[in-house]
Structure 1
Amino acid sequence: MANKATADRAVKRDRFVYTDDDVIEKSFNWEQMRRLYTYMKPHNRELIPVLIVMVIGTLTRLGVPLLIYYAIDHIILPDTGSGNTTHLWLLAALMLGMYVVQMIATHFRIKQTNIIGQKVLLSIRSHIFTHIQKLSFRFFDKRPAGSVLVRVTNDVNALQDLFTNGVVNLLMDIIQLIGIIVILLVMNFKLGLAVMVTVPIMFFVSTSLRKKIRFAWQEVRMKNSRINSHLNESIQGMKVTQAYVQEKNNIEFFRQMNESNLKSWNRASALNQSFGPIIEVTAAIGTCILYWYGTHLIKNDAFTVGLLVAYSTYMAHFWDPINRLGQLYSQLLIAMASSERIFEFIDEQPTVSEKEDAKPLPQIQGSVRFENIVFEYEKDRPALKNISIDVKEGQSIALVGHTGSGKSTIINLLCRFYDPVEGRVLIDGIDIRDITLESLRKQVGLVMQDTFIFSGTIRDNIRYGKLDATHDEIVRVAKAVNAHDFIMSLPDGYDTQVEERGNMLSMGQRQLLSFARALLSNPKILILDEATASIDTDTELKIQEALKVLLKGRTSFMIAHRLSTIRNADDIIVLDHGRIVEQGNHEQLMAQKGVYHGLIQAQYRFV
C-alpha cells in the first residue's frame, strides 16, 4: 500500500507540477535552426579556413579511387614492361601524400570546429542566463528552480555535437556526396542510376521515424528536467524529509522518476539507432546491384575491372556521408528538442518591464503614495482591493494583519517586483512605472525574513549592498546592527568563508548580515519584511536601538507581528483579505478595540 501511494504521488506530481516541461507538440521548425545559427554567425570568419581545409581533404579523398582505377587498368593489367614498377611506386607515393593531407586536414578541422562550437555554446549559455536575470517574479513563481537550471546546463550542453562538428560535417558530407554522384554517373550513367535506386527507398523509410524520434528526445529532456527539479527540492528540504522520516518514500519516488527517465532514454536511443541498420541494408542492396550489373558490363566489354574496383570504393565512400547525414539529423532532432525549451525561456517577456522612455529616478526624499491599488496573482482572485496609502518622507509605517492579508504584496509593488492591475505607486510624486528599475531599487533597501546568504566571505555578503564599499564602511554598518562581535568571533572574521545559503550561521546571524547589507546601500526607503522574526529577544533589543538611529530621515515600511517592532511606528496599517480595515498609531488602534487590538491580545496569549 505504501508503494502504491508513493507511485500515485509520483504520477500526480508528474502530471500536474511540472506543466511548463510538457512535450512540445510542434512540427520540425527550421526557423528554430535559423535562430540557432545566429549564435554561430559572429564566428563565420573563423569558419573560412576550416571550410578551405575541409574542401582540400574531401578532394584528396575523392582522388584516391581514381588513382586505383588508373593503376589497375593502365599499369597492372596491361603489359607495360619495366616501367610498370616505377609507375606503381609513383602512384603509391602520390596516394600516401593524399592520405597525409587528409590526416592533417581532419586534425585541423576537428580542433577548430571544437573551439568554435564551445564559443557558440558560451554565447547561448550567457544569453539565456542574462535573460533570466531580467525576468519578473511571476516567471519564477510558476517554475521550480531545477527546471530553470536544466535549461542553462543540460539543454545547452545537448547542442554541443551540433555546433562542434555537425554544421561543418554537413557541408563536408554534402560536397563529398555530390562529388561521388557526379563521378559515378560520369564513369557509367546506367550503373550509377542502378546502384543509387535504393536511396529514395531508404529516405522514404527513415522519414516515417523522424517525428517519433523528435518527440522521444523531447520526452527525455522533459523527464531530465523533472529529475533536476526534484533533486533541487529534495536537497533543500532534506531537514524536513529526515524530521518526518520520509527517506524511504523519497527514495522510492526518485527511483520511479529515474526508471521512467531511463525508459525514455532507451526508447529515444533505440529509435535513433534505427537509422544505422536502414542504411546498412540499403548499402548491401546497392553493393549487390553494383557487382551483379558491373560484372555483366565487364563481360560485354562495356566496363573495366579498374572501374569496378574504383566504383566499389566510391560506393563505400557514398554510404559513409549518408550514414553521417542520418546521424546529423539525429543531432538536429536532439538540438530541436533542446532549442525549443531554450527559446521558450528566451521568448519569455518580463511582466514587469521598463518603458522605452523610462528615466532614472533622481535622488528621492522618500514620500510614497499608493493610489487605488488593485492587484491579483491569479486572474479574478484579487490580493489587494482598492488600497490607498499616503506616506510622508521619513515616516515609519507598520503593516500588520493575518497571513494572506496582503502585507508582502504591498512591499512587492513598492519594489516593483509586480505591477498593479489598477492604480499606481508614486515615489515623490513620480509613477514608478516611468522610471528605470535599477534606479528605483538602488534607493530602496529590503530585508526579508528568508535571508539569502551567498557562498563567499562575510565581507562579500555585506558588500553585496554596495560593491565598492570600503572595509571601514562594512565594519561601521556591522557595528550599527550589532553584527560586528559575532563576525569577529568567527575563525577569519570578515574573511570567513560561508557556505551556500549561509548554513554555517544561525538564522539570527544571517538576519543581522542582511541588515548590514541593506544599511550599507544607504537607501532612502527601507523595507523590513518580518526582518526580526528569526532574532532572539536580546538581539532584537539591540537592533531596536540601532534602528532608531538608522531609520532617522528614512521612510520605512515594516511587516511584523512583534509589538516591540511596530508600536513605535508613526502609522500602523491593518490589512484583512486585501483591504485596509484600520489605520492609526498604536494607542489609537488599541483604543478602538478592533482587529489590531485582537491581534495584540492574541500575541500576548501565546507569549
Structure 2
Amino acid sequence: MTDQPLIAAARERFAPWLIEPMLENRGTYLKVAVAAAMINLFGLVASLFTMTVYDRIIPNDASSSLVGLSIGLAIVVLFDFVLRLLRVYFVDIAGANIDYEVGDTLFAKLLAMRLDRRPASTGTLTGLMRELETLRDFFASATLTAIIDVPFILLTLAVIALLGGVLVLPPLAMIPVVVLAALLTNPALDRLSAKSLGDGLRKQSVLVETVGSLETVKAIGAGPMLAERWRSALRSHAHSSLGQRLTASIAVTTASSANTIAYCGIIIVGVGLLRNHEITTGVLLACSVLCGRVIAPLAQIATLLSRLSATRIAYRQINALMQMPDEGPAGEALHPARIEGRIELRSVAFRYPNAAEKALDQISLTIAAGERVGFLGRVGSGKSTLARLILGLYEPQEGVVMIDGTDVRQFDPGALRRCIGAAMQDNVLIAGSVRDNICVERPDVDHDEMIRAASLSGTHAFMGQIANGYDLRLADRGDGLSGGQRQSISIARALAGRPPILVFDEPSSAMDGQSETDLIGRMQPEVEGRTLLLITHRLSLLRLVERVVVLDRGRIVADGARETILQRLRGGKVA
C-alpha cells in the first residue's frame, strides 16, 4: 500500500483518461525498469573484462584464465541480449495497452461530444484523433527507458573515479553541457511543436474536405482553389517541421560531440597518468569504455525531450477535446423502457455556434402521442433545427424540449434515439453492407424486420435485383448509389424496429413523382398511431399528416388542421 499516495497524486496531476491506463500497466513498466537496471549492470562487465585482460591476462600469459573470462562474458552477453529484447517487448506491450485504452476512451468521447462544442472543421477533428499516435509512439518508445538509465550515470562515474581517479573529470564536465543544451532548446521545441501541429491540422482539414467532396470539387471547378490551400498548408507545415527537427537535433548533436570530447579527454589525461605509472593500461581502456556509458543515456534523454515536446502538445490538444462537455445529463441518465410519443416545446430558442441570428425563437408547441404533424416553411426557417432539438442533437439555449413530460436532456441520448426513427435530410450512409445500414446492429431488428422496413421504404424493390442483395458493400457515404436509393435506405433504417416516434426531413426530395406516390401509399398505414414529424416542401407528402405547422424565421406563423392550413396557403394568407 506504500504506492497509494503516489498513485493518488498522479491521478490529480494528470488527466484520468491517460493516467488510468498508465497506472494499470505499471507492473509492465516495473519489468522494464528491472530489465534496464540489469542491462546497465551488465554494461560494466565489458569494461572490467577489458581491464582484466590487459592488466592480468596479457602480462601473465594466463590463457586458461582468458577462456574462463570469455565464457563468463559470453553468458553475460547472452543475458544482455535477452533482457534487451524483453525490454522492447514489455515497452511495446505497455504502449499497445495504453493505445487501446486511450483510443477507446477518445472514440467514446467523440461519439458523446455535444455537437455545438465540436471543432468546426472535420479535418481538424480527425487530425486531433491522429495525434493519439504521437502519444502511443512516446509510451511505446524504447527511448522512454532512458529515464531509468539516468541513475546509473552516477554509478558509472563512481566506477570511473574508483578505477582512474581524475579520469572521471572529462565525462563529468560534459554532463552539464549536454543537460544545458537540452534545457535551452526545450522552449523553442514546445513552440515549434505547437506550430507544426497547427499546420498539420490545417493540412489535414484541406485534405479531408477535398476527399469528402471530390465529386463536387470537380463539378464546380474548385480544384485550383483547394490546390492553392493545400500548397500553402504544405509549405507552412514543411517549414515548421524543419525548424522542429533542426532544433531537436541541437541537443542530440551536442550529446554526440560531448561524448567524443569526454572520450578524448580521458585518453589525453590517461596518457599522462600512465606515463607516471599512476594507472595501468587496462584501467585507461576500461575508463574509456565506461565514458561512453555516461554520455549515451544523456543523448537518449535529449532525444526523449524532443519527443516529449511533441507529446506534450498532443496531450494538451487531446485533453482539451476530452474536457468538452458530453451530451446528456451530468448525473444519472434516464433509460426509458417505453415512450408514448408526446412532444412539447416551451419557449424554445436556439442559435447555432457563431451564427448571427437565432434558428428558433420562442417556439412553443405541443404534439400529442400518435399525432402526425407536417412542418412547412422557407429554407432556413428552422424546420430541421426543430428536429435536431427533439433528437437531442443540440440543446436549446432557452426553454425546454420534453418527450412524455420529461426534458430530453435527462434521457440517455442513445436510449432516447433508439425510440425515434430518424431519416435526416443528408441521407448519409455508413461504409459497410446495406444490411448494416438498415439494422445498425440493433438487437430488435432481425432479418424479417429488415425486409419489412425495406419493403415499406422501397429499398427491397431494387435490392432484390442485385446479386449480393443486402450484403452489397457500400463505399463511404453510400457513393455508387443514386440519391433516391440512399434516401430509401435511410427511410428503411428509420422504420426498422417500429419506433414510436418518426422524424422525416425531406424524405422524398431525391425521388421521382411515381416513387414518391408509391412511398406515400405504403407509409399511410405504417404511421397510423405513431407520432410523426414530417418536414417537407412537397405538399403531396402532407397526405401522411393531419396537422400542419408553418415556420418562418424561427417562429411559428401558422398551426392547424391540414386542410385549413393548405387553404390558407393557397389563398396566400400565411406570411
Whether TM-score is above 0.5 comes out as yes
1:101 and 2:76 matched: no
Q: Counterpart in 2 of 1:376?
A: 351
Q: 1:32 touches 1:339 (CA, 8 Å); kept in 2?
A: no
Q: Is the 8 A contact 1:449 1:532 kept in 2?
A: no
For 1:570 and 1:554, locate their aligned partners in 2 and report how far apart those are by CA, in whole Å. Answer: 12
From 227, 230, 252, the equivalent of 1:254 is 230
Whole-angstrom distance in 2 between the partners of 1:162 and 1:266 = 20
Per-residue deviation at 1:533?
1.1
Report whether the alignment pairs 1:112 with 2:87.
Answer: no
| Partner SS for 1:348 | coil
SS across alignment from 2:141: helix
For the aligned residue pairs, the C-alpha RMSD in angstroms reads: 2.5
Aligned pairs for 1:45-194 (under 5 A) are 45-77=27-59, 80=60, 84-140=62-118, 142-153=119-130, 155-166=131-142, 169-194=145-170
Matches within 5 A, 1:302-451: 302-350=278-326, 352-378=327-353, 381-451=357-427
8 A contact 1:449–1:530 mirrored in 2: yes
Cα contact 1:367–1:391 (8 A) shared by 2: yes
Asked if 2 retains the 8 angstrom alpha-carbon contact of 1:147 and 1:229, the reply is: yes
Aligned to 1:569: 545
SS state at 2:325 partner:
coil
- Does residue 213 of structure 1 match 2:189? yes
How far 1:191 moved relative to its partner? 3.4
Offset of 1:143 from its aligned partner? 2.6
1:242 is aligned with what amino acid? K
> C-alpha displacement at 1:596, in angstroms?
6.3
CA distance in 2: counterparts of 1:181 and 1:227, whole angstroms: 48
Task: Return the alpha-carbon distance in structure 1 between the equivalents of residues 498 and 189 of structure 2.
Answer: 57
Is this contact kept in 1: 2:138–2:307, CA < 8 A? yes
Q: C-alpha distance in 2, partners of 1:503/1:168?
A: 45
- Is 2:213 the counterpart of 1:231? no
Q: Higher mean Cα deviation, 298-307 or 127-136?
A: 298-307
Q: Specify every segment of 5 or more residues in structure 2 that has no aligned partner in the other structure, as ranges.
A: 1-11
Alpha-carbon distance change, 130 to 248 in structure 1, aligned in 2, over 3 angstroms: same
Structure 2 distance, partners of 1:420, 1:543, is: 33
C-alpha deviation, 1:538, in angstroms? 0.5
The residue identity in structure 2 corresponding to 1:292 is I
- Higher mean Cα deviation, 427-436 or 339-348? 427-436
**SS of structure 2 residue aligned to 1:363:** coil
* AA matched with 2:111: Q
Measure how far apart 1:506 and its partner are. 0.9
The DSSP-based 3-state class of the residue aligned with 2:140 is: helix
Q: Which amino acid aligns with 1:147?
A: T
Moved more, 179-188 or 393-402: 179-188
Work out the CA distance in 2 between the residues paired with 1:196 and 1:387: 76
Decide whether the 8 Å contact of 1:400 with 1:573 is kept in 2.
Answer: yes
Deviation at 1:34, TM superposition (A): 9.1
Match for 1:145: what amino acid?
A: T
Structure 1 residue 276, shift from structure 2 partner: 2.5
- Deviation of 1:188 (Å): 4.4
CA-CA distance at 1:578 after TM superposition: 1.5
Deviations 1:551-575 (A, max 9, x none): 1001111111111112653221111
Structure 1 residue aligned with 2:6: none
1:172 deviation in Å?
A: 4.0
Match of 2:5 in 1: none
User: What are the residue-to-residue correspondences of 1:447-486 with 2, within 5 Å?
Assistant: 447-464=423-440, 466-486=442-462
Structure 1 SS opposite 2:400: strand
Indicate conservation of the 8 Å contact 2:352/2:359, yes or no: yes
| Change in 2 beyond 3 A, CA 1:276/1:251 | same
Distance 1:593 1:41 in 2: 66
Return the alpha-carbon distance in structure 1 between the equivalents of residues 568 and 218 of structure 2. Answer: 47
Pick aligned residue for 2:258 from 265, 276, 282 = 282
Structure 1, 217-226 or 316-325: larger mean CA deviation = 217-226
Structure 1 residues 146-192: Cα deviation after superposition (integer angstroms, max 9, x where no partner):
22222223x12223432223465224422432321221233345432
Distance (Å, rounded) in 1 between the aligned partners of 2:116 and 2:199: 23
Structure 2 residue aligned with 1:267, among 203, 221, 243? 243
Q: Is the 8 A contact 1:481 1:542 kept in 2?
A: no
Residues 375, 421 of structure 1: 8 Å contact kept: yes
Query: 2: CA distance between counterparts of 1:524 and 1:70?
Result: 87
Contact 1:51/1:168 (<8 A) preserved: no
Question: Any stretches of 5+ residues in structure 1 without a counterpart?
Answer: 1-29, 600-607
| Structure 2 counterpart of 1:321, one-letter code | P
Rounded Cα–Cα distance in structure 2 between residues aligned with 1:249 and 1:593: 44
Aligned in 2, Cα 1:439/1:595: closer, same or farther, shift over 3 Å? farther
1:103 Cα offset (Å): 1.5
2:26 is equivalent to residue 44 of structure 1? yes
Change (3 A) 1:585 1:196: same
**SS of match in other structure, 1:366:** coil
CA distance in structure 2 between the aligned counterparts of 1:34 and 1:424, rounded to whole angstroms: 33
Instruction: Report the CA distance shift for 1:495/1:36 in structure 2 as closer, same or farther (over 3 A).
Output: closer
Comparing 280-289 and 131-140, the one that deviates more = 280-289
- Deviation string for 1:345-377 (max 9, x for gaps)? 112222x32241432224222221111112222
**How many angstroms does 1:454 deviate by?**
1.5
CA contact (8 A) 2:143 2:303 kept: no
For residues 549 and 536 of structure 1, the distance between their equivalents in structure 2, rounded to whole angstroms, comes to 22
Residue in structure 1 matching 2:473, options 497, 504, 508: 497
The aligned residue for residue 24 of structure 1 is none
Alignment correspondent of 2:8: none
Residues 33/363 of structure 1: CA separation in 2 closer, same or farther (3 Å cut): closer
Indicate the larger mover: 374-383 or 230-239: 374-383
Q: Single out whichever of 546-555 and 281-290 deviates more from structure 2.
A: 281-290
Instruction: Assess if the C-alpha contact under 8 Å between 2:132 and 2:314 holds in 1.
Output: yes
Q: Work out the number of aligned pairs and report it.
A: 563
* CA-to-aligned-CA distance 1:19-71 (integer Å, 9 cap, x gap): xxxxxxxxxxx955997453222122234444333322221111221222223
Structure 1 residue 516: Cα displacement: 1.1
Query: SS in structure 2 opposite 1:316?
Result: helix
Instruction: Provide the residue aligned with 2:9 in structure 1.
Output: none
Contact 1:62/1:176 (<8 A) preserved? no
- Name which of structure 1's ranges 554-563 and 220-229 shifts more when overlaid on structure 2: 220-229
Deviations 1:289-342 (CA, angstroms, capped at 9, x unpaired): 323333333344433322221111111221111111111112212211222222
Contact 1:33/1:336 (8 A) holds in 2:
no
